[in-house]
Amino acid sequence: MNKYLTAVLLLVSINISFAQEVIETKYYKSRYTDSKEVSESKAKFVRTKTKYPDGRIETNHTRIKDNLTIWSKTYLNGEPAGIWFQYYDNGTLMSRLDYDQELNYSEETPKDAPYLDLYSKQPKSPIQGTLTFPTLTEYPEGFSSYFVKNMRYPGPAVEKRITGNVLVLISIDEQGNTEVLSILKGAHKYLDLEAFRLLNELPQWNPCKIDGKPTKVYSIVPIGFRLG
């Protein structure tokens, strides 16, 4: 039985080794993509490039002292693929973008609840009663401050100098939960994915109220991407 198990494990190990191949290993002192390469003895980070049978090439930049992958990127046929992520030095997630994700594109705008402008804090449709606007407890400075702190311009969009405006339809329910319903107007998939991520990761709202009663609302959120 032990001999059989050993043979099976060996076969699995051989299959895995053929399934992927590390094609490049480099060493760096810095976490940044454009940092200068150094010798292994002076390195604080190691960058490995792995090729998979489907043609995907994954690059991982890992901190040596604790084996924390600081950032990871994958390309397929020269285009971003799979999940890209990046961590702060303390191990907290900075951003995560799934380039294989399918987004919902639609021009439909439901009419079963009021519409609000979350930037100006103004109603965009008639309101019957006294309106208490939804607020983000974590961002008392306002809705815009959430974007200032959390937007991460997608690397591939920076490389290709892609800019544009994305219009996203969201709802905020009676409990203060956000749902991203659709992309009403896209700019480019790289930017559309980041817009979706930003709104999908919104923290809990203090919900909208009309005459003191929690009320579901919609908002069409424009998000602009500009490069200096």
pLDDT for 32 equals: 87
**1-45 pLDDT tens trace:** 455 545 544 544 445 445 789 999 999 999 988 889 999 999 999
What dihedral angle (degrees, nearest 10) is formed by the CA atoms of 141, 142, 146, 148?
-70
Where are the domains positioned within the chain?
19-98, 116-225
Distances (CA, A) of 216 to 113, 122, 208: 6, 15, 7
Strand 116-117 versus strand 122-123 pairing type? antiparallel
Q: Which pLDDT score is estimated for 33?
A: 80
- State which fold the 116-225 domain adopts: TolA/TonB C-terminal domain (3.30.2420)
Q: What pLDDT was estimated at residue 5?
A: 47
Count of positions (residues) in the chain: 228
With a cut of 80, say whether residue 174 has pLDDT above it.
yes
Residue 87 pLDDT: 94
Question: If pLDDT is split at 50, 70 and 90, which confidence band does 90 have?
Answer: very high
Q: What is the mean pLDDT of residues 51-64?
A: 95
What pLDDT is recorded for position 18? Answer: 56
pTM of the model: 0.84
Average pLDDT, integer, range 86-95: 92
Residue 19's pLDDT is what? 78
Give the model's pLDDT for residue 182. Answer: 98
Alpha carbons 96 and 12: distance in angstroms, whole number: 31
pLDDT grade, residue 187 (50/70/90)? very high
Residue 8, pLDDT score: 47
Question: What mean pLDDT value characterizes the chain?
Answer: 91
pLDDT of 138 above 50: yes
pLDDT at 108: 96
